[in-house]
């Protein structure tokens, strides 16, 4: 009987202890595939869901902050890599500004798309490559762009990463 009670108590803990998806790392390129440095720090914004564990912030609250990024050197080029959190939130967007134009990059909320991103980056360690496009753009619409694929392969090769 004790064993049965122990198992009944353990099952919810195991079910809830699913590993979180990793954060999404990305770098921005211009139309020629060169690293692009935004004019201002990108701004990450999102809306909290009811699942978030922070009691002080209500679900539906808009949050956000500036992103500083991490500068990586690949060959003779320097790229700034930004990190978008996987959080208890929806409507994750990053606003980037370059030469007076603004790009609003929308990150997926759908779990299928999130898992596709994880599988794309599995083993390579390379960030996602995002071409700067003025306007509102969904990240998933940019993944198969020929320039993106070319730059990502080059980054993986130069860094000695698997892909």
163 falls within a domain = no
104 falls within a domain = yes
Rounded mean pLDDT of 42-51?
Answer: 87
Rounded mean pLDDT of 16-39?
Answer: 81
78 falls within a domain = yes
pLDDT at 97 (0 to 100): 95
**Number of domains the chain contains:** 1
Q: Whole-angstrom Cα distance, residue 130 to residue 104?
A: 12
Range of the domain at 44: 21-155
15 falls within a domain = no
- Higher pLDDT: 17 or 42? It is 42
6 falls within a domain = no
47 falls within a domain = yes
146 falls within a domain = yes
Q: Whole-angstrom Cα distance, residue 72 to residue 66?
A: 19
pLDDT at 150 over 50: yes
Record the pTM: 0.76
14 falls within a domain = no
**Tokens representing residue 141 in the block:** 């619409």
Q: Whole-angstrom Cα distance, residue 28 to residue 81?
A: 8
CA dihedral sign, ordered 58, 60, 65, 67: positive
């Amino acid at each position: 009987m004790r064993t049965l009670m122990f198992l009944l108590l353990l099952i919810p803990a195991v079910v809830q202890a699913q590993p979180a998806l990793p954060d999404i790392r990305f770098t921005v390129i211009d139309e020629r595939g060169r690293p692009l440095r935004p004019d201002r720090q990108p701004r990450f914004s999102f809306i909290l869901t009811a699942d978030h564990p922070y009691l002080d912030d209500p679900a539906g609250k808009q949050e956000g902050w500036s992103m500083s990024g991490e500068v990586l050197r690949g060959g003779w080029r320097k790229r700034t890599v930004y990190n978008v959190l996987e959080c208890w939130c929806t409507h994750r967007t990053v606003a980037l500004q370059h030469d007076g134009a603004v790009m609003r990059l929308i990150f997926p909320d759908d779990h299928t798309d999130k898992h596709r991103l994880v599988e794309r980056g599995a083993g390579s360690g390379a960030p996602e490559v995002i071409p700067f496009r003025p306007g509102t753009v969904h990240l998933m619409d940019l993944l198969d762009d020929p320039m993106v694929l070319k730059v990502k392969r080059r980054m993986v090769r130069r860094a000695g990463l698997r892909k």
